Amino acid sequence: MKLKIASKKTLANFINLLIKKEDRRLIGPKRKDKENVVFAPISSWDELCLANTVTLLPPKQFLFPNGEELIRFEMEGKEVKRVYSSLELEPQIIIGVRPCDIHGILHLDKIMNAENADCYYIKRREATLIIGLDCLEPLDDYCNCASFNTLEVTEGFDLFLTEAKDRYYIRIGSPQGEALLANCDEIIEAKEEELKELYKKRSLLFPRHLKLSVEELPAFLASDKVYNHPYWEELGRQCLSCGSCNIVCPTCYCFDVREEMSLALNTGSKCRYWDGCHLGSFAQVAGGFNFRGKTFERVRHRMYRKGKYQVEKYNQVACVGCGRCARACLVNISPVTTYNNLAQSAYIAQKGDER
């Protein structure tokens, strides 16, 4: 993969040119208020916030929008006249996507392309270019990419920026990415060694909070002792079932399907809305029976889904260590702390058995 370099000013000009071209909208991190940065449409380089801040939500919403229309139908009285599916696609470039979020997108790519491929996601993804943004230091204390091996990215982007003082290294990740740079004479070839030098100190700056290795996580969770551990009930007493963790997660994609009618009752649509397995009614069936009626069962389901179930299905741990769920949680539940506490108490219990 080719490496280039540009001054900040050159990159700014390049981004402004991309915006001017108008064949794709540009989405990037933008300051929403004093505390929060969000992914939003960008109309100039100055609006971009590439500072060390984690966005409130991952860029998932631009590939898997909340409330996406699945089908549309036309009615004449009670009679349905036409049912079809229509997709409004807006070609886009998402800039400023951090390594953890690129891993999140790669995870969704895998799932949405698996059996019963999701045409909506796939079409949006195909119309999207990703310009990643490297992390040279953790954005805050919640960052856990080092624990989940998601700091390094080798795919899932078209271009990838690494900031170095007043310049940006630009890694080319795809022919489309390379095409974007065509005719930008001021963006020149760079040496790999320079970037390696930048990376030298990096690993020391990213602490591994997770006491298990990510590879041993699924096997660890497979133990009955861990599944039936009383710690889950303790978490269940804390969890408010608010579903914030689901909403901010780059790899959560569960959804509800709802039907909506126009006021004139002559057209309607079926739309999917983000849903969350932490919400009380998620596994409830008609008639009221709830297959995960207890809060602790739902906490456990999510932690197992991230650390075990998705691995069994898609061969990938579904936590990318972005830390958003822990930041959003009102009672400070985090996957890393949960796994660590279980590992510690399982270890203690094991020692106890040996005695």
Partner 1 sequence: MEIQSAYIPEIAEILEIRQFTEKERFYRLKLLSGKPLNNQPGQFVEVTVFGVGEAPISVSSPPSSTEPVFELCVREVGSVTTALTYLAPGDKVGIRGPFGKGFPVEEFKGYDILFIAGGLGIVPLRSLIKYTLEYRHCFGFLDILYGTRTPGDILFRDELISWRNRQDLNLLLTVDIGYRGWIGNVGVITTLFPLLRKLEPVQTKVAVCGPPVMYKFIIRELRDIGIPDENIYFSLERKMKCGLGKCGHCQINNVYVCQEGPVFNYALIKQLEEAI
Q: Kindly compute the dihedral angle of the four CA atoms of residues 209, 211, 212, 217, in this order, to the nearest 10 degrees.
A: -60
Dihedrals φ, ψ of 120, to 5°? -65, -50
Residue of the chain from 255, 329, 337, 341 that contacts partner 1 (CB under 8 A): 255
Is residue 248 close enough to count as binding partner 1 by CB under 8 A?
no
Q: Is 83 in the site for partner 1 (CB under 8 A)?
A: yes
148 binds partner 1 (CB under 8 A): no
40 vs 217, beta carbon nearer partner 1: 217
Closest CA to 282 of 292, 294, 273, 270: 292
One of 41, 236, 268, 280 touching partner 1 (CB under 8 A): 268
Cα four-point dihedral sign 17, 23, 28, 32: positive
Rounded to an integer, what distance in angstroms lies between the CA atom of residue 56 and that of residue 37? 6
Cα–Cα distance list, 306 to 17, 236, 337 (Å):
40, 17, 14
Are 323 and 142 within 8 A, CB to CB?
A: yes
Nearer to partner 1 by C-beta: 182 or 286? Answer: 286
> Which secondary structure element, helix H or strand E, spans residue 28, and what is its range?
strand 25-31
Maximum Cα interatomic distance, the chain, rounded to a whole number of Å: 76
Residue 105, H or E segment: helix 99-113
**Is the separation of the CB atoms in 4 and 172 below 8 Å?**
yes
- C-beta neighbour count of 140 within 10 angstroms: 10
Identity of the residue, 13 or 241, whose beta carbon is nearer to partner 1 in the bound complex: 241
Binding segment toward partner 1, per CB under 8 A, in 50-58, 118-126, 207-215, 229-237: 118-126
- Residue bearing tokens 């971009």: 48
- Binders of partner 1 among residues 198 to 237 (CB under 8 A) are 227
Could you report how far apart the first and last alpha carbons of the chain are, in Å? 55
Which residues are CB-neighbours of 65 under 8 A, at least 6 positions away?
A: none
Q: Which stretch binds partner 1 (CB under 8 A): 33-41, 49-57, 65-73, 204-212?
A: 65-73
85 is an interface residue for partner 1 by CB under 8 A: yes
* Cβ proximity to partner 1, 197 vs 256, nearer residue: 256
291 is an interface residue for partner 1 by CB under 8 A: yes
Residue 17 touches partner 1, criterion: CB under 8 A: no
* Cα–Cα–Cα angle for 58, 59, 62, rounded to 5 degrees: 145
Q: Is the dihedral of CA 307, 308, 313, 315 positive or negative?
A: positive
Q: Which is nearer to partner 1, 118 or 134 (CB)?
A: 118
Asked if 66 interacts with partner 1 (CB under 8 A), we say no
Q: Residue 136 or 268: which CB sits closer to partner 1?
A: 268
Residue whose CB is less far from partner 1, 199 or 227:
227
**123 touches partner 1 by CB under 8 A:** yes
Residue 7 tokens read as 């001054």
265 touches partner 1 (CB under 8 A): yes
277 contacts partner 1 (rule: CB under 8 A): yes
Asked if 289 interacts with partner 1 (CB under 8 A), we say yes
Q: Which is nearer to partner 1, 73 or 220 (CB)?
A: 73
Nearer to partner 1 (CB atom), residue 199 or residue 291: 291
- Say whether residue 183 binds partner 1 (CB under 8 A): no
Is residue 160 helix, strand or coil? strand
Considering only 73, 106, 139, 167, the residue that binds partner 1 (CB under 8 A) is: 73
75 touching partner 1, by CB under 8 A: yes
- Would you say 324 and 250 are in contact if contact means Cβ atoms under 8 Å apart? yes
Contact pattern for partner 1 over residues 292 through 311, marking x by CB under 8 A: x----x---x--xx--xxx-
Residues engaged in binding partner 1 (CB under 8 A):
70-71, 73, 75, 78-80, 83-89, 111-112, 114-116, 118-120, 123, 227, 253-259, 261, 265, 268, 270, 272, 275, 277, 282-287, 289, 291-292, 297, 301, 304-305, 308-310, 312-313
